[in-house]
Each structure stands twice: as C-alpha cells, then as structure tokens.
Structure 1
Amino acid sequence: MTGGHPPIALTMGDPAGVGPDITVKAWQALRASGPGFFVIGDPALYGDPARTIAAPADAAAVFADALPVLPLTLAGPVTPGQPDRGNAPATITSIEQAVSCVTDGQAAAVVTNPISKAVLKGAGFTHPGHTEFVADLVSSLPAQRPRGPVMMLAGDGLRVVLATIHMPLKDAIASLTGERICDVARVTLSALSRDFGITSPRLAIAGLNPHAGEDGHIGREEIDIIGPAADILRAEGHDVAGPLPPDAMFHAEARARYDAALCLYHDQGLIPLKTLDFWGGVNVTLGLPIVRTSPDHGTAFDLAGTGKARADSLINAIGLAAKMAQRRTAA
C-alpha cells in the first residue's frame, strides 16, 4: 500500500453478482504494488483471502497478505447468480458506510462494485441508480467546484461524458437544453483540471444529427441548442470544439485533439468507448465533493462464482480513484 494515504473503500455490490469474485482478483493483482483498499461486506463472500479488520486504518497492515474486510452481516446465505432481495439492505448499507469512511477521512475514495437496481428497487430503493444515491449521500457537503453528478466513462485513449444517461432516445433528445450542455461541460472541464491534472483541458461536443445537421438540412438542434451552448462556453474562456459530426470524432487523430468528448445520449458515448476498451473502461462520477469510481459493467449474475469474471475494469477503477484522490490532496 502507498504510505501516508488512506486506503480506498470498496463496496460489496450485489453479493450474488461478480463483485466478490472480481474483488478477490483485484486484491491478488494489487497486493504487492497497491493501491491498497478494503471492502465492506460479509467476509464469507471472499473465502480464504479475507481477513476481518476493525477499522479502515487496519487495512495497511494486512493488505499484502490478506484481503481486508470491514464486516457487514447479510440477512441470509448467498448463492452466486441468484440475487436475494433480503440482502438488499446490506448492499445499501455497504454504500453508505463506504461514503462515510471517505467523508470522515478514513478512506481516500469510494469504488462501487456492481449492484442490481431491480433487486434494490424491489426492496424499496428509491434512487434511479448508484450515481444518484452517492450524490444524495454527499449533497450536504460543501462543493468546491461545479456540482455534479456527471457520468464520465474513461478507457484506453478516450474519455466521454454524457448530457443524458438512462432514458429512451426520444426522451433524451427532447430533454436536451443549452443549459444542461453548459452545466455538464463546466463540471467536466473543472474535473479534467482538478482530478486528471490537465492544465488546459480541451472539450469536444458532439452533434446530435448526422454530419452535425449540415447547417440545418438534417435537423436544427446544432443551430438552436448545441452551437449556442458551445459559444457560451468559448466566451467564458474554455477550449471547446463543436458541435462536431459524431461519426468523425472518435478515430485516433480526432481523439488526439481533445481531452474529453461530451456526448448527447448514452450510446453515442458508450459505443466508441466500449469498442476501444470493452474490458477496462471505468465509470467516474464527476462534480462530487468525494472521489467515486466504478467498474463499467453490471452484476453479471451468469458469471458469478464461476471464476470467469474479469477484474480489469475494477482494477482500473481502483487505480484511477487513487490517482484522483492524490491529486485532490495535493491541490
């Protein structure tokens, strides 16, 4: 573990998903080099590598030899691949405790293992997802920069942020406003500087229509909404390009001209990201007073307990969270 820095807090995620499997694999990959972490969950989920700790500060002493687990009691036994609503409260508690560990200085950042929103909502969970829940938990903390949450997906050679996330495409288009685009852009540019160490960040904004509308011949959103938003951002002194034709902004030469791409709907950003780095992409929540990352995949119940789940994304999420936390501490 890196000396002098608090450990990363990992959440349990859905205990019947791949979270326990990839947590053990991440520990095996990082035990010698770090970053150090602990997981908040039932120690039985992690088998022989697990060692119960009493507090996050104890993680450093055991990390090289065992997976540190801050224990959490489940309501019932776990069968991999078979989610149980009865264990949903423990999944939620793990997230709450991980966030508390960061806000009280015992952990440097939160990395969230995958949850099943359907399972949690069946048990009364009212938030749309992880991102909104974490944002709500820290909403009372003072914000030093533009406030999110904004979803970023970061992979090999590409960072994308989304103006709209999980909604039908027709609703995403209808909800686009210049104000929303500007808000997402400002949070992103601030985070690129603060959390990614980019002195003069560059943002590319995608168009919505084919060929970015071709001067209104294939849609007017670029003229009426996206272009004016980009002009406002440029007038504020930001290095912003766009709106750009979406089909021509993700090849290697185009990506070299910006540090992040602002995409207008889910698949516009996720298709190029997952094409470039399907296994290693990381979900990052920007604009929060704490650092939170997550693997860019779901619970994969079909792989749980088989040993086949890959931990690439979780390993990258832990590494990125540690780097972001260190930059904030040094700022």
Structure 2
Amino acid sequence: MTTAHPRPRVAVTLGDPAGVGPELVAKLLARRENTAAADIVLVSDEAELRAAGADAGLPVEYSTEPGSGLPLLHDNGAARPAEPFERRRATAAGGRWALANLGLALDMVKDGRVDAILFAPLNKSSLHSAGMASNDELRWFEEVLGVESFTSELNVLPGLWTARVTSHVSVADVDAGITRENVNRAGVLLDRVLRDSGLDAPRIGVCALNPHAGENGRFGRHEIDVIAPAVADLADQGLDVSGPFPSDTIFLRARAGEFDGVLTMYHDQGQIAMKLMGFDGGVTIAGGLPVPICTPAHGTAFDIVGQGTADTGSVQNAFDLAVALGRRSRSTV
C-alpha cells in the first residue's frame, strides 16, 4: 500500500570521525523538521554520538528501540577500531570506521530496509589507508552493491545539476574515457536522475572537451567525432539536450537558467564552476546506483573541527535530496 507522501527510511552515517561530519549530523538532527521528514536510521555508536553532540553543543537525541519517533540507532560499536581516533588528520582507523558504517548502510539497502543513504564527509586518504582499493567511494559502492551499469558522480546546487563522463582519473587518462558510448550513458543518467528529482522535461547542456569547442577541429576533433554524435543520439532518444558548448561559457548560460543540468567531460570542468557558484550548499549524489546516496560536496574541514562553526548548508541540502529521492523511490514500491 502506498500513500501520497510516504515517509522514506534514510540511513545516516557520520563520515570520517576526524572531521566535521559528526558535528554536522548533530546539528542536522537537532532540527525537528528533519527528524519529522523521514524515518532516520543512525549507523554509528553511542560514543560517536556523544562526541558529535559535544562538538555541536547540542545533544543528539536517539533511541535504540523502533517506534519511538526519534532517530533509531543501529549500534555498530562492534566494528569500532581498537585504537582511538585522532582528530583533524587522516588515519587508517578513521577510514576503517567510516567504511564499516557505510558498509552496514549498504547492507540495509540490499535487504530493503532503507530507501536512501546520507553520509557526512569522508577523507579519501583515510579510506585508502584503511584498505579501500577503489579510486573513490562511488566505485566502492558499485563493488559492494554489485552494480555493473554506468554510474557517475552528480553535483547539485539549487536549480542546477551536473554529471561527468569521466571522474576521478588522471587528466592524462581523460581522453580515453571520452567515447560516444560514455557520453550517451552519462547523458541518459543525468536525464533520469533529474526526472527522479521531479523535473518532467529537464534541459541538458553538454560541455565540449577542447578550448572553444575545438574550433572546427583546429584544437582537436572530440567535438566533431564523439561528443556531437552522442548529443544527436540523446536527442533521438527524446532528451532535451544541446551542445557541445565551450566549457568557459556554458555555466554562464546555466546560471542564467538556460539549463537544468550540464554534462561535463571531466572532474574539474564542472567542479570548479559549481563550487564557485555555491560551495556552501553543494551536494554530491552517487548516480546510477539502486538507491540514492547523498553527501555534502565539501570535505572533512580538519581545520575547524571542534570549533562548533561548521556550516550546515550542504548537509541540509544533501539530507533534503535524500529524503525527496527516497520518498519517490518508496512511493513506487
């Protein structure tokens, strides 16, 4: 049975314990409108929640019993590393704890117990020190969930989304990833996620790879041989898509409201523009997975840990997206 506005079940992890993630989650949960918006499952332990509340200057209210109306703690203390966490620096212990909690949240996805995941900022050095062999958490999510289809990190500001054809690879390796098939897959994914967010007919602009969109082949033929044909393929599938446009002007058009989404060719092509336009409110979504997974677009901010000053703009936006996408997913069950 479904309802018009079903309450989604959202798993929340506090990210790297050395960073501002625990403080951000404590502040998020202190807002009654947030705890009323979803059935929240905290994947953590009581020691971490106490520390989070101390940093935020706000006690974290939770319950270990379902049905209380409070966020439900799924205590993962058995997975806590024996060594104490060092604050304000990347460590293997912090990475192991972050991975253990995310792994449990992904198990909940597999079992159908949650509709979305929100995780506070991670530190890739910590994750790799802890043994994560994947380049980033998205590839790790793919492995854990057994996903073999195309995935992409999506970055979101209010009114504008981006997806990438290539992501966490060396700039020297970007060229090999710019294929007609990959541009097509990334465009389809961006269109689908925009529709899942509630847009009926999203407008997508596609970035060129080369300066001035290649200047008719003078600066490279990617636009002629790969990107433009892929844009035509996407249009043939019914997407409202246009380009390729020079990357030094496309975001001016997007900021003016011409596009709902921008498809970029590589990481910094979109990230620099998005962070300049809204660093304090940006959200990253792991796109192409069987469940929405959202996180603030900023990092662990070791320099301000323990000061109680971490801004909640991005984590609030990430939570709101996790709730909205999780509700939409749940309403189709």
Same fold by TM (over 0.5)? yes
3-state SS of paired residue (2:27): helix
CA contact (8 A) 1:151 1:283 kept: yes
Match of 2:242 in 1: 241
The answer to whether the Cα contact below 8 Å between 1:72 and 1:90 also exists between their aligned partners in 2 is no
Contact 1:81–1:305 at 8 Å: present in 2 too?
Answer: no
What is the distance in 1 between the residues matched to 2:254 and 2:271?
19
The aligned counterpart of 1:103 is 110
Give the Å deviation of 1:216: 1.7
1:123 aligned to which of 101, 119, 130: 130
Q: Secondary structure at the match of 1:95?
A: helix
SS in 2 for 1:205: strand
Q: Which residue of 2 aligns with 1:171?
A: 173
SS across alignment from 1:23 = helix
Secondary structure in structure 2 of the residue aligned to 1:324: helix
Matches within 5 A, 1:1-331: 4-31=6-33, 34-36=36-38, 37-47=40-50, 49-51=59-61, 53-54=63-64, 57-58=66-67, 61-63=69-71, 68-73=72-77, 74-75=80-81, 76-139=83-146, 147-193=149-195, 195-251=196-252, 255-331=256-332
Letter in 2 for 1:112: F
Residues 154 and 285 in structure 2, CA contact (< 8 A), matched pair in contact too: yes
CA contact (8 A) 1:103 1:290 kept: no
Question: How much has 1:51 moved relative to structure 2?
Answer: 4.7
Superposition deviation, residue 87 in structure 1: 4.4
| Pair 1:82–1:286, CA change in 2 (3 A) | closer
Structure 1 pair 289/22, CA: closer, same or farther in 2 (3 Å)?
same
TM-score when scaled to structure 2? 0.87
Q: Following the alignment from structure 1 to structure 2, what is the Cα–Cα distance between the partners of residues 71 and 31?
A: 24
Identical residues among aligned pairs (%) = 30
Q: RMSD value over aligned CA atoms?
A: 2.4
8 Å Cα contact 1:52/1:71 also seen in 2 = no
Residue 263 of structure 1: CA displacement?
Answer: 0.4
Q: Distance in 2 between matches of 1:159 and 1:6?
A: 23
Q: Structure 1: how far apart are the matches of 2:331 and 2:201?
A: 18
Q: Is the 8 A contact 1:51 1:69 kept in 2?
A: no
Q: Which runs of 5+ in 2 are unaligned?
A: 54-58
**Which shifted more, 97-106 or 126-135?**
97-106
Matched positions, count: 318
**Aligned 8 A contact 1:5 1:108 in 2:** no
* Segment of structure 1 superposing worse, 314-323 or 153-162: 153-162
For structure 1, the 5+ residue unaligned runs are: none
Deviation of 1:234 after TM superposition, in Å, equals 1.7
Amino acid in structure 2 at the alignment position of 1:212: A
Contact 2:19 2:88 in 1 (8 A): yes
The answer as to whether partners of 1:8 and 1:38 remain within 8 angstroms in 2 is yes
Alpha-carbon separation, structure 2, partners of 1:83 and 1:242:
41
Cα separation, 2, equivalents of 1:253 and 1:301: 32
Shift of 1:260: 0.7
Q: 1:11 to 1:315 in 2, by over 3 A?
A: same
Residue type matched to 2:76 in 1? Answer: L
Give the Cα–Cα distance (whole angstroms) in 1 for the partners of residues 270 and 186 of structure 2: 14
